[in-house]
Amino acid sequence: MNEREQIEPEIDRGKALELIKEYTKNGNLLKHMYASEAAMREYAKYFVDKEALHKDNIETWAVAGLVHDITYERDGDKHMYSGADLLKGKGVSEYITNAIRVHGNTDGTDQETLLDKVLWIAEECTGLVVAATLVLPSKKLKDLTIESLMKKWKDKRFAAKINRDHISEGCERVGIKVEEHLGIILKAMQGVSDELGL
């Protein structure tokens, strides 16, 4: 698939919001999906600037981030497969549904597109950014710096569930340094801080 060409997602943000709210009642999980949407939109802009992605695919990437955990509340560890199947049944493109199907694979297998690879590393890092924000005196995203975030990254006891090896490997696959990767996620989340309540 040529991501330098426009790819039709077959779903817009309005429909995606309706769907996630139908399947998700947990407020923190919804915020994770909003953060992932913002992260994927920011990442798409990064790759448009690198001429690796068509500009009309920015919102497609954002929608993929928004819906990636659509069935997590219902299906737990099987949500990647059930979510992909659910969305496929709603007519969502294979470009998005395949990225959802493989985003939980711990070894990164079956990644074919740039979208697959970026969703695999971006959505997980939103949790690190939230954790790093919540230990600030202000508990505000605007006060979190990349320097502070990198210190938390290097402290493997902090937010220990974040798989740093997985993310480092994923960054190598997309050709980006971890610090730049975290900077993209941080910038994205700061842009939706009100929606995230941080």
pLDDT at position 10 is 86
All structural domains of the chain: 13-196 (1.10.3210)
What is the token pair recorded at 41? 């939109």
Biggest CA–CA distance in the chain, Å, is 46
What sign does the dihedral 7-12-15-21 (CA atoms) show? positive
Read off the pLDDT band of 37 (50, 70, 90): very high
Which pLDDT tens digit goes with each residue over 127-163? Answer: 999 999 999 999 999 999 999 999 999 999 999 999 9
CA distances (Å), origin 156, targets 148, 162, 185: 14, 9, 19
What is the token pair recorded at 80? 């990647």
Which pLDDT tens digit goes with each residue over 86-103? Answer: 999 999 999 999 999 999
160-180: buried (b, 16+ CB within 10 Å) or exposed (e) per residue?
A: eebebebbeebbebbebebee
What is the token pair recorded at 121? 């590393």
DSSP-derived secondary structure letter, 6: -
Read off the pLDDT band of 8 (50, 70, 90): confident
